[in-house]
Chains A and B, each alone.
Chain A
Amino acid sequence: MRRIISVLLENEPGALSRVIGLFSQRNYNIETLTVAPTEDETLSRLTVTTSGSDRVIEQITKQLNKLIEVVKLVDLTEGAHIEREMMLVKLKATGSQRAEIKRTVEIFRGQIVDVTSTIYTVQLAGDSDKLDAFIQAVGASGVLEVVRSGVSGIARGEKVLSL
């Protein structure tokens, strides 16, 4: 099952490599990974999406917790949560395609952030399925380049991951 694990990490050199190293060393899978400092500069927040049996996921969270630089973590998929991924897509846009793409972007609540006579660059945020659906909707043949940020997530309601 797909899981989203959110980690508060000491914002120190080498900390990230420990997390990534753990995944490859123990044969765990990383689907997406995002990391950036938080409002507290001493901490980074890392979000990893992974998949595996319940036993593997339990081991992943336990092994992550063992890393000295991991301060706290939560498996967001255990409760209600919001997940978002950001995507920039460069699309071939000429002739009648231009209007069609523009409509599709509006339907998906995206924005066209750069334009040339033959190209639209579209920015889109949402859960990963929505981004996949957009690519499908515009048709893979028109897609010149895709860059996705990987998943970020946060729990719904009162629950907070902080010190």
Chain B
Amino acid sequence: MELLSGADMLIRSLQDEGIEYIYGYPGGAALHIYDALFRQDKVKHILVRHEQAAVHMADGYARASGKAGTVLVTSGPGATNTITGIATAFMDSIPMVVLCGQVMSTLIGEDAFQETDMIGVSRPVVKHNISIRHPQEIPEAIRRAYYIASTGRPGPVVVDIPKDMCTPNERYEYVFPKKVKLRSYNPAIRGHAGQIKKAVEMMMAAKRPIIYAGGGVILGKASEQLTELAHKLGFPVTNTLMGIGGFPATDKQSLGWLGMHGSYESNMAMHHADLILAVGARFDDRVTNATEKFCPGARIVHIDIDPASISKTVDADVPIVGPVDSVLREMLALTAESETRPDQEALSAWWKQIDEWRAFHGMRYEKSEEYIKPQEVIEMLWRLTNGDAYVTSDVGQHQMFAAQYYKFDKPNRWINSGGLGTMGFGLPAAMGIKLNYPDSEVLCVTGEGSIQMNIQELSTCNQYNLPVKIINLNNQALGMVKQWQDMNYESRHSHSYMGSLPNFVKLAEAYGHVGIRIDKKEELEPKLKEALAMKDKLVFLDIYVDPFEHVYPMHIARGSMKDMWLSKTERV
């Protein structure tokens, strides 16, 4: 029989769970745990400079690998600093376990030093949270936390650990449970066969079908099945912002992504479709525009692991609750058996129409002699990295440009905070990926607003040698805010301008990295190449881009899918 303290049991459980890296920051209530961490070398800890960044690092890793990330922080401010990161993961259904120190159980409720009710504070933004009430509960709690975080619709789980659960000389028998059984938690393991059959019949009868594929395809590891089904049926595919890479962007059946800043052809095709096959998507307001005007002629088949995502904002005609990979596999099997094939005549007329939309607009922007266009930076990055990099982004115009002009052919490569829209996400997310995939190119596309929200992590990059490439599309303004002010507030730029920008080149150098400023068009390509050639250096590229640029297409507010601005002057 092996006797361990609570802190040692916690670390042992992480080992037994197969955790390699955890990201965190120590403090009083977590010191027993940090001591246990010190006395072993299997679980490696990355010390960040702010707890929010630890969560985004774990999140970036989780998005790239499909496995749960792990965070360790102390009580009080350590715990509350993780909230934005946890909410970010929650909105995008990212598997994650956040271990929080807590004051001694005997002090809880007494407003003790660094006490926060983390269970209460985190409750609205977690899939679940667990409070430890006896040291012996720790192995079971850890096992459960990872199980809940990474099954069904994934999400973050917080484990709150009072300091006296980890007292060094209080030892208990350590048993890591082999299985988790929860009577109240049973995620669907397959879709309803009758519903799947009905859906396939509708797909075969459709004249103007479209596949609308969301982040669930990536989380559910179903890109292969989706691609196979789309190819077999010859249907057009549009991805959501979260679903980018779930279907190859350079495939001729790809219409790009849809929604507020989606492609003209994908929004048009959605609006005019007679059948929408929604796969792991949630009809988010940034996709649908006004729901009462949403796709008036379409019948909707909706596959999702989470029943609450179905008919939440838009009613589904055929709801299918189940894991997307297994449902798509069953659909593939049915289409193979079925005598009927999609209506080829109708389908080729539909493609003709789609090609006309593509020809009419497609993804394009006005070139400039004077300015570096943010879009051309992204296009060049795509070319120079052979479309194979991991690209993280922050939030704003640069995020939309990166998503529009970097063509992702693989899942898990486009890493952004789609649901919560968290500025400051990009750099730490990139760090989490680079740490775990050191041989891959990892780009963080950001802006001078977002990067300053977690810029302190340049120090962490130095400590752990994380040579990511930071592409700062510097327009000297909070570009997306400014764009809305241009469009909706007669260009009254209320607080969207950032005066006193730091010298980013010197700043990068101060942290021990390489900084490169690019403000001339002709310098763009050579300097990007130079930066990418520095494999073992973090390079901060401060690129001065057109400060007046807007992101288009853009949905016209309260309109339908087909109502868009295509440039500052054209609307359809």
Q: How far is the CA of A66 from the CA of B306 in the complex (A)?
A: 8
Contact with B along A49-69 (1 / 0, CB 8 A): 000000100110011011011
Contact B184 A68 (CB under 8 A): yes
Is residue B231 within 8 Å, beta carbon to beta carbon, of the partner chain?
no
Question: A68 to B184, alpha carbons, bound, how many Å?
Answer: 6
B123 CB contacts on chain A under 8 angstroms: 17-18, 21
- Select from chain A the residue with minimum beta-carbon distance to B185: A68
Shortest distance from the beta carbon of A150 to any chain B beta carbon, whole Å: 23
User: Which B residues, 162 to 203, have Cβ-Cβ distances below 8 Å to chain A?
Assistant: 182-185
Tell me which of B131, B185, B308 has the highest count of chain A C-beta atoms within 10 A of its own C-beta.
B308
Q: What are 29 pairs between A and B in contact, CB < 8 Å?
A: A10-B184, A13-B131, A14-B131, A17-B120, A17-B123, A18-B123, A21-B123, A21-B124, A25-B124, A55-B311, A55-B315, A58-B311, A59-B308, A59-B312, A62-B307, A62-B308, A63-B308, A65-B307, A66-B306, A66-B308, A68-B127, A68-B128, A68-B148, A68-B182, A68-B184, A68-B185, A69-B184, A71-B183, A71-B184
Question: Which 3 residue pairs spanning A and B have beta carbons closest together?
Answer: A62-B308, A71-B184, A68-B128
B19 on interface, CB distance cutoff 8 Å: no
Closest to B152 in A: A66
CA distance A14 to B159 in the complex (A): 13
| Inter-chain contacts of B131 with A (CB < 8 A) | 13-14
Residues on A with beta carbons closer than 8 Å to the beta carbon of B127: 68
A151 located at the interface, meaning its Cβ lies under 8 Å from any Cβ of chain B in the complex: no
Cα of A163 to Cα of B184 in the assembled complex, Å: 10
Q: Verify if B119 is at the interface (C-beta below 8 Å from A).
A: yes
- The answer, yes or no, to whether A70 is at the interface (CB within 8 Å) is yes
**Can you name the residue of chain B whose Cβ is closest to the Cβ of A22?**
B124
Interfacial chain B residues near A72, Cβ < 8 Å: 184
By a CB distance below 8 angstroms, the chain B residues around A71 are: 183-184
A residues less than 8 Å from B308 (CB atoms)? 59, 62-63, 65-66
What 1/0 flags go to A76-89 for Cβ under 8 Å of B?
Answer: 00000000000000
What residues of chain B lie closer than 8 Å to A163, measured between beta carbons?
183
Rounded to whole angstroms, the CA-CA distance of A66 and B154 in the bound complex is 12
Which B residues lie within 8 Å of A14 (CB)? 119, 129, 131
**Nearest Cβ on chain A to B83's Cβ, whole angstroms:** 14
Q: In which size bucket is the chain A interface?
A: 20 to 34
In the complex, chain B residues whose CB is within 8 Å of the CB of A65: 307-308
Residues of A within 8 A of B311 (CB): 55, 58
Which residues in chain B, 320-353, are within 8 Å of chain A measured between CB atoms? none
Chain B residues lying within 8 Å of A70, measured Cβ to Cβ, are 184
**B interface with A by C-beta (< 8 Å):** 119-120, 123-124, 127-129, 131, 148, 182-185, 306-308, 311-312, 315
CA A55 – CA B314 in complex, angstroms? 10
Given the complex of chains A and B, what is the CA–CA distance between A21 and B131 in angstroms?
Answer: 17
Closest to A60 in B: B308
CA of A123 to CA of B124 in the docked complex: distance in angstroms?
Answer: 39
* CB-based nearest A residue for B119: A14
The minimal Cβ–Cβ distance linking B497 to chain A, given in whole angstroms, is 35
Which A residues lie within 8 Å of B183 (CB)?
A: 71, 163
Minimum CB–CB distance from A135 to chain B (whole Å) comes to 36
Expressed in whole angstroms, the minimum distance between the Cβ of A17 and any Cβ of chain B is 7
Q: Which of A65, A66, A163 has the most CB of B within 10 A?
A: A66
Q: How far is the CB of A28 from chain B (nearest CB, A)?
A: 13
Q: How near does chain B come to A15, taking the closest CB pair, in angstroms?
A: 10
Separation of A68 and B145 alpha carbons in the complex (Å): 11
A62 to B319, CA, bound (A): 14
Given contacts A17-B123, A59-B308, A68-B127, 6 further A-B contacts (CB under 8 A): A13-B131, A17-B120, A18-B123, A63-B308, A65-B308, A71-B184
Residue in A closest to B184 when the chains form the complex, CB atoms: A71
Which residues on B sit within 8 Å (CB–CB) of A68? 127-128, 148, 182, 184-185
Smallest beta-carbon distance B121→chain A, Å: 11
Within 8 A of B (CB), among A20-62: 21, 25, 55, 58-59, 62
For the complex, give the distance between the alpha carbons of A7 and B120 in Å.
Answer: 21
Bound together, the chains give a CA A32 to CA B184 distance in angstroms of: 24
CA distance A163 to B182 in the complex (A): 13
**Closest beta carbon of chain B to A27's beta carbon, Å:** 12
CA of A13 to CA of B133 in the docked complex: distance in angstroms? Answer: 10
Q: How far is the CA of A63 from the CA of B308 in the complex (A)?
A: 6
Q: Give chain B nearest CB distance to A25 CB in angstroms.
A: 5
Which residues of chain B are within 8 angstroms of A63 by Cβ–Cβ distance?
308
* Nearest CB on B from A58, distance (A): 7
Q: How far, in angstroms, from A66 to B153 measured CA to CA in the complex?
A: 10
- Report Cα–Cα, A17/B315, bound state, in Å: 30
Cα A7 to Cα B123 with chains together (Å): 19
Which chain A positions have C-beta within 8 A of B312? 59
A133 to B190, CA, bound (A): 50
- The CA-CA distance from A71 to B182 in the complex, in Å, is 9
User: What is the CB-to-nearest-CB distance from A96 to chain B, in angstroms, rounded to a whole number?
Assistant: 53
When C-beta atoms are compared, the residue in chain A nearest to B131 turns out to be A14
Q: Which residue of B lies closest to A62 (CB)?
A: B308
CB distance from A78 to the nearest CB of B (A): 17
Kindly state the separation between the CA atoms of A72 and B311 in the bound complex, as whole angstroms: 21
How far does the alpha carbon of A58 sit from the alpha carbon of B185 in the complex, in Å?
19
Q: Which residues of B contact A13 (CB under 8 A)?
A: 131
Docked CA distance A63–B129 (Å): 16
The interface residues of chain B lying within 8 Å CB-to-CB of A69 are 184
Q: How far is the CA of A55 from the CA of B120 in the complex (A)?
A: 28
User: Shortest distance in angstroms between B316's beta carbon and chain A's nearest beta carbon?
Assistant: 11
Q: How far is the CA of A21 from the CA of B307 in the complex (A)?
A: 20
Residue on B nearest A69 in the bound complex, by CB: B184
Q: Given the complex, which residues of B lie within 8 Å of A58, measured CB to CB?
A: 311
Shortest CB distance B359–A (Å): 40
